[in-house]
């Protein structure tokens, strides 16, 4: 089972798309690409590692945002050094697999945010530029240039559409895209360790320092309130409302299981809702050999770090604890010609020990699929696995 209090020892950055009608979630990304959710950020913040997006083509993750039109995490990754290059990556919120969108044409970028209408902005480099981003193509275009006020900063898009920047000069700066003006708002009083700033849908400003100290900031009075000293090194802040199952609810693991007879590694995904009371979650397995039999199973103790093999299967079983097999009427599957099978679960009637159990909010369960796989040596195999944290 994954820990909900994993202490991180690497550089982090955070993200959020602003949607007033939905509950916000605060996220961070480390320089190595580990994604962390900060729970109860407004009252009693705690940090939870929810995924790993470390495949950034050798770049260090600098900041994270979420594209509100797709629900995907967006990360800017930068090589080290004065003349390093930055690239923009999309991160699947369910699998945390990264896809490169573009290479920035300007100097290294260190921050990123995306507005509700999908306008993107980024700042960075000692030259102090602010660029606008096309979130489809990843193309960047210079919109403001300010040396110190804009250099190596983090930023957030405010409710009125202006861009609030916490600059390396230890000031807050505001950029107005309507008239192109840059206004220095003066010192924020938190020193030169501020690496992240974000604005909630109620207008509350949150700031984090390099060493993970999270503050609430009052722009009217220029005062800050410390909320928590988190076990993270933070590069930036941002909120996120991913589409589909919320990021952090679904975590893929065991991707290194054995390829099946198609040459692919079987994959398992979730569609629908991970809210237990909705009772509307479907398991989908893909990249399987066509026209074979298969079945899904689950465990109350998923084991990302220690899958085991046996002489009874060609693949790896990634479960421990109490295991339930979905083999009731209509639950055993015949894989389609396209190599897929799926099962909509009754979360009020999960098989366990000859009886039944219900999934409840806060439960952590692992899911995997088994399938026949001739002509491989043993003749059966497993997909990868996923963990679901029910809400």
| pLDDT tens-digit profile, the chain (391 residues) | 222 222 222 234 444 433 333 446 788 777 677 788 888 888 888 888 777 776 677 677 778 887 766 778 888 777 755 456 788 888 887 777 888 888 877 666 778 888 765 678 887 765 667 788 887 787 888 877 664 455 556 788 887 778 888 877 788 888 887 777 888 888 898 877 777 788 887 788 988 887 888 899 999 899 999 999 987 766 555 555 333 344 447 776 665 467 888 888 888 989 888 889 999 999 999 999 999 999 999 998 765 444 555 667 778 888 877 889 999 988 999 999 999 999 999 999 999 877 788 999 888 898 999 999 987 778 899 998 888 888 8
Residues 318 and 367 in one domain: yes
In this structure, what CATH number is given to the domain that contains residue 259? 2.60.40
Residues 111 and 215 in one domain: yes
Residues 102 and 226 in one domain: yes
Give the N- to C-terminal CA distance of the chain in Å, as an integer: 17
Residue 316's domain comprises 250-389
Residues 44 and 93 in one domain: yes
Model pLDDT, residue 114: 82
Residues 300 and 363 in one domain: yes
Residues 98 and 203 in one domain: yes
Distance CA 253, CA 270 (A): 13
Model pLDDT, residue 239: 56
Query: Is 3 inside a domain boundary?
Result: no
Query: Is 6 inside a domain boundary?
Result: no
Alpha-helical runs (H) found in the chain: none
Distance CA 260, CA 99 (A): 25
Residues 24 and 159 in one domain: yes
Model-level pTM greater than 0.85? no
Distance CA 18, CA 184 (A): 24
Query: Is 2 inside a domain boundary?
Result: no
In this structure, what CATH number is given to the domain that contains residue 111? 2.120.10.80
What are the residues facing 366 on neighbouring strands?
Answer: 299, 387
Distance CA 207, CA 215 (A): 5
Residues 187 and 320 in one domain: no
275 CB neighbour count, 10 Å cutoff: 17
Residues 168 and 70 in one domain: yes
Q: Tell me, what DSSP letter sits at residue 39? A: E
Residues 266 and 176 in one domain: no
Distance CA 50, CA 5 (A): 10
SS3 357: strand
Model pLDDT, residue 346: 96
Strand 319-325 vs strand 293-302: parallel, antiparallel, or unpaired? antiparallel
Domains identified in the chain, total number? 2
Which residues neighbour 263 within 8 Å (Cβ) at sequence distance 6 or greater? none
What are the residues facing 284 on neighbouring strands?
Answer: 269, 342
Distance CA 266, CA 279 (A): 25
391 CB neighbour count, 10 Å cutoff: 17
Long-range pairs, 83-91, Cβ under 8 A, ≥24: 83/107, 83/108, 84/108, 86/59, 86/62, 86/122, 86/124, 87/56, 87/57, 87/59, 88/112, 88/133, 88/138, 89/53, 89/56, 89/59, 91/35, 91/53
Strand 60-66 vs strand 73-78: parallel, antiparallel, or unpaired? antiparallel
- Can you say how many angstroms the Cα of residue 132 is from the centroid of all Cα atoms in its chain? 23
- The two tokens of residue 300 are 């109350």
DSSP 257-281: S---TTSSPPEEEEEE---GGG--E
Residues 190 and 68 in one domain: yes
Residues 254 and 210 in one domain: no
Query: Is 28 inside a domain boundary?
Result: yes
Q: 286, 266 in Cβ contact below 8 A?
A: yes
């Amino acid at each position: 089972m994954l820990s909900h209090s994993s202490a991180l020892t690497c550089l982090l950055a955070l993200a959020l798309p602003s949607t007033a009608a939905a509950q916000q979630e605060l996220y961070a990304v480390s320089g190595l690409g580990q994604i962390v959710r900060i729970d109860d950020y407004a009252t009693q913040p705690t940090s939870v590692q929810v995924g790993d997006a470390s495949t950034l083509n050798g770049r260090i993750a600098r900041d994270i945002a979420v594209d509100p039109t797709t629900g995907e995490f967006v990360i800017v990754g930068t090589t080290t050094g004065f003349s390093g290059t930055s690239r923009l990556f999309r991160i699947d919120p369910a699998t945390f697999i990264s896809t490169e969108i573009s290479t920035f044409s300007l100097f290294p970028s260190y921050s990123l945010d995306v507005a509700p209408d999908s306008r993107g902005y980024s700042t960075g480099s000692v030259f102090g530029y602010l660029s606008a981003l096309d979130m489809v193509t990843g193309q960047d275009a210079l919109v403001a240039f300010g040396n110190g006020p804009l250099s190596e900063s983090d930023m957030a898009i405010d409710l009125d559409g202006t861009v609030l920047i916490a600059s390396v000069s230890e000031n807050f700066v505001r950029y107005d895209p309507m008239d192109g003006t840059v206004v220095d708002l003066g010192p924020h009083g938190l020193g030169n360790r501020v690496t992240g700033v974000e604005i909630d849908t109620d207008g509350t400003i949150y700031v984090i320092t390099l060493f993970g100290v999270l503050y609430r900031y009052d722009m009217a009075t220029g005062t800050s309130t410390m909320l928590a000293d988190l076990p993270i090194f933070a590069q930036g802040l941002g909120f996120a409302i991913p589409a589909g199952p919320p990021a952090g609810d679904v975590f893929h693991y065991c991707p290194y299981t054995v390829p099946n007879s198609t040459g692919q590694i079987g994959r398992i995904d979730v569609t629908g809702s991970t809210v237990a009371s909705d009772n509307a979650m479907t398991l989908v397995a893909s990249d399987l050999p066509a026209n074979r039999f298969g079945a899904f199973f689950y465990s109350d103790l998923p084991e990302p770090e220690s899958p085991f093999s046996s002489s009874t299967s060609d693949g790896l079983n990634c479960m421990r604890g109490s295991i339930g097999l979905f083999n009731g009427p209509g639950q055993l599957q015949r894989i389609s010609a396209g190599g897929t099978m799926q099962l909509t679960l009754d979360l009020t009637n999960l098989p366990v020990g000859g009886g039944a159990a219900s999934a409840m909010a806060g439960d952590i369960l692992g899911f995997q699929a088994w399938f026949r796989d001739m002509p491989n040596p043993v003749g059966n195999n497993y997909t990868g696995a996923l963990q679901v944290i029910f809400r």
